[in-house]
Copies of this chain bind each other. A is one copy, B any other.
Amino acid sequence: MADEVADEVQPKRRQARGERRMAQILDASAVVIARTGYERATTIAIATEAGISPGSLYQFFRNKKAIAEALADRFVTELGAAHRSAFDSTDFAAIPLDEVLDRIVDPIVAFNIANPGFKALFARPDMPEGLTDAARPIQAALLDRIEAMIAVRAPELPEAERHRTARVGINLFQALIPLVVATEEAERPLMVAELKKALRGYLGPVIG
C-alpha cells in the first residue's frame, strides 16, 4: 500500500519511431481498458493489442500505472479542448437556455462518442491511487465554468445554491452520457434531446 513519491522527471531522448510506438501503446491501452477496465487490462493484452512484446512496453513507460496516467493526460488535454470550444467566445447572458445547452452539450457529447476509453478510465473506480486526480483539475475547471455561466444568468442566486446546482447539473449530464453513447447511432439524436430536456427541466427554473 505504501506509495512511492516523486515519480516524474527523466525525459529521455527518443527517436521518431519511439514517439510513434508510445502513441500506439496509448491507443492500444485505451482499447483494452475500455474493454476490460484497468485492473483486468493485463500488460500482455495491451502489448498484444499494440502488436509488440510485453518487454517493449517498459521501454517507454515505467510501469502499468504510468501507461494509464499518460492515457489520462491525453484524454484530459483533448477534453480540455472540447471544454474550451464549448465555453469560450460565447456570451451566455445573451442567448436563450436552449442554445446555451446546445453549445455546451454537443461538443462534450461528441468527445465522449469519439473516445470510448475515456469513461472507462475516469468513471471506473478500479484504478491506482492518484489516477482519478488527473481528472480533478479539469472537473474543477468545468465546475467553475458552469458556475460562471449560472452566475451570469442568475446573478441573485446565493453562492452555495449556485455551487450545488452546478454540481448536480454536471452529475446529471455525466450520468446520461453513457446512455447516449450506448444508444445506437440512429436513435442517438433522440437521446441527446432527452438529455437536454433533463438539463432544461432542472436548470430552467433557476436560469431559464
Contact = CB atoms under 8 A, between A and B. Distances in A.
Contacts of A151: none
Interface stretch (A14-22, A48-56, A132-140, A173-181): A173-181
Q: How many copies does the complex hold?
A: 2
A62 interface: no
A99 B182 CA distance: 32
A18 B74 CA distance: 51
A175 B174 CA distance: 8
B176 A168 contact: yes
Interface in A134-182: 164-165, 167-168, 171-172, 174-176, 178-179
Interface residues of A, number: 31
| Interface residues of chain A: helix, strand, loop or mixed (majority) | helix
Contacts of A201: 198, 200-205
A197 interface: yes
Contact of A171 (B39, B165, B175): B175
The 10 closest A-B pairs by CB, nearest first: A175-B175, A201-B201, A201-B202, A198-B202, A126-B126, A37-B125, A39-B39, A168-B194, A39-B126, A37-B126
Interface of A: 36-37, 39-40, 120, 124-126, 164-165, 167-168, 171-172, 174-176, 178-179, 190-191, 194-195, 197-198, 200-205
